[in-house]
Amino acid sequence: MLCFFALKDTCKFHNNFTKKDLNNIINILDNKNNLKGYAMRKLRIFWRNHWVMVLIIFAVVVLIITCIWGLLSLESFYRNLTIATMPINMLFAIANAAIFVFLYMTVFSGGFSKLKKKKIKGSDISASNSAIKFSDIIGLEGAKKEAMEVVSLLKDRARVKKIGGKIIKGILLLGPPGCGKTLLAKAIATESRIPFISISGSEFVEVFVGVGASRMRKLFKQAREHAYESGACIIFIDELDVIGRGRTFSNFGSGEETNSTQNQLLVEMDGLEGSQFNVLVIGATNTQESTLDKALLRPGRFDRKLQVNLPNLKEREDIIKYYLKKVSYDQTSINTLRIAQKTVYKSPAEIENAIKEAALIAARKQKDKIDKDDIIEALDRIDLGLETHLTMTKEELEQTAYHEAGHAVALYYLHPTDDVFKASIKSRAGALGMVLHHPINEMHSANREKLLADIVVSVAGFAAEKIKYNTTTTGVSADLRHASTVAHTMVWTLGMSDDLVGDFTATPEVWLSESFKQKLNEKTNQIIKTSLAQVDEFLRKRWQIVETFAQELLLKGELDYEAMEQIFAKYSQQENMKRNIVQDLFSLEKKTDSDALKNAQNDNSEPQKTVVVSKETADKNPQDKTENIQKPAEEKQTQEKPQEKQVEEIKP
Express each pLDDT in 119-159 by its tens digit. 444 444 444 445 788 888 887 887 888 888 888 877 777 67
In this prediction, residue 427 carries a pLDDT of: 86
* pLDDT exceeds 90 at position 402: yes
The answer to whether 466 touches 472, Cβ cutoff 8 Å, is yes
Q: What is the CATH number of domain 313-383?
A: 1.10.8.60
pLDDT tens digits for range 618-652:
333 434 433 333 333 333 333 333 333 333 333 33
The answer to whether 520 touches 493, Cβ cutoff 8 Å, is no
Domain 114-307 homologous superfamily, CATH: P-loop containing nucleotide triphosphate hydrolases (3.40.50.300)
Global confidence as pTM: 0.65
Cβ burial 371-393 (10 Å sphere, 16+ → b, else e)? bbbbbbbbbbbebbeeeeeeeee
Q: Given pLDDT bands bounded at 50, 70 and 90, which one contains residue 28?
A: low
* pLDDT exceeds 90 at position 537: yes
Percent of the chain with pLDDT over 90: 17
Distance CA 111, CA 89 (A): 29
pLDDT tens digits for range 422-471:
898 888 877 888 888 888 777 888 899 999 999 999 999 999 999 999 99
CA atoms within 13 A on the CB side of 324: 21
In this prediction, residue 572 carries a pLDDT of: 67
In this prediction, residue 615 carries a pLDDT of: 33
CA atoms within 13 A on the CB side of 618: 18
- Which residues are 55's β-sheet partners? none
Distance CA 511, CA 494 (A): 19
Closest CA to 116 of 6, 200, 240: 200
In this prediction, residue 579 carries a pLDDT of: 41
Q: Given pLDDT bands bounded at 50, 70 and 90, which one contains residue 586?
A: very low
What mean pLDDT comes out for the span 346-356?
90
Q: What is the CATH number of domain 394-590?
A: 1.20.58.760
In this prediction, residue 255 carries a pLDDT of: 55
34-38, 259-263, 276-280 — which is least confidently predicted?
Answer: 34-38
10-19, 409-418, 501-510, 596-605 — which is least confidently predicted?
Answer: 596-605
Q: Given pLDDT bands bounded at 50, 70 and 90, which one contains residue 257?
A: low
* pLDDT exceeds 60 at position 225: yes
In this prediction, residue 23 carries a pLDDT of: 60
* pLDDT exceeds 60 at position 593: no
What mean pLDDT comes out for the span 405-423?
89
What mean pLDDT comes out for the span 568-590?
51
> Under 8 Å CB-to-CB from 33, ≥6 apart: which residues?
none
Domain positions in the chain? 2-112, 114-307, 313-383, 394-590, 603-652
Q: What are the start-end ranges of the E strands in 353-510?
A: 418-424, 434-439
Ramachandran angles phi, psi of 311, nearest 5°: -70, 150
Give the DSSP letter string of 141-180.
HHHHHHHHHHHHHHHTHHHHHHTT-----EEEEES-TTSS
Q: Given pLDDT bands bounded at 50, 70 and 90, which one contains residue 491?
A: very high
Q: Confirm whether 268 is a catalytic residue.
A: no
- Which residues are 200's β-sheet partners? 238
What mean pLDDT comes out for the span 291-308?
86
Domains 114-307 and 313-383 share a fold: no
Tell me how crowded residue 533 is: count the other CB atoms within 10 A of its CB.
14
> Strand 196-200 vs strand 118-120: parallel, antiparallel, or unpaired?
antiparallel
pLDDT tens digits for range 72-126:
887 888 778 888 888 888 888 889 888 887 776 665 545 544 555 444 444 444 4
- H or E stretch covering 13: helix 2-13
What mean pLDDT comes out for the span 402-415?
92
DSSP assigned state of 387: B
> Strand 304-307 vs strand 170-174: parallel, antiparallel, or unpaired?
parallel
How far is the CA of 390 from the CAs of 386, 387, 428, in angstroms?
12, 9, 9
pLDDT tens digits for range 607-616:
333 333 333 3
More confident position, 59 or 625: 59
Cβ burial 398-435 (10 Å sphere, 16+ → b, else e)? bbbbbbbbbbbbbbbbbbebbebbbbbbbbbeebbbbb
What mean pLDDT comes out for the span 327-345?
87
- Which residues are 245's β-sheet partners? 292
Per annotation, catalytic residue among 404, 465, 537, 552? 404
25-39, 239-253, 562-576 — which is least confidently predicted?
Answer: 25-39
Closest CA to 202 of 166, 172, 240, 228: 240
105: left (phi over 0), alpha (psi -120 to 50) or beta: alpha
Question: Which range, 254-258, 384-388, 619-623, has the best average confidence (pLDDT)?
Answer: 384-388
Distance CA 33, CA 5 (A): 18
SS3 355: helix
In this prediction, residue 497 carries a pLDDT of: 83
Percent of the chain with pLDDT over 70: 74
The answer to whether 284 touches 313, Cβ cutoff 8 Å, is no
Closest CA to 301 of 379, 384, 244: 244
Ramachandran angles phi, psi of 97, nearest 5°: -65, -40
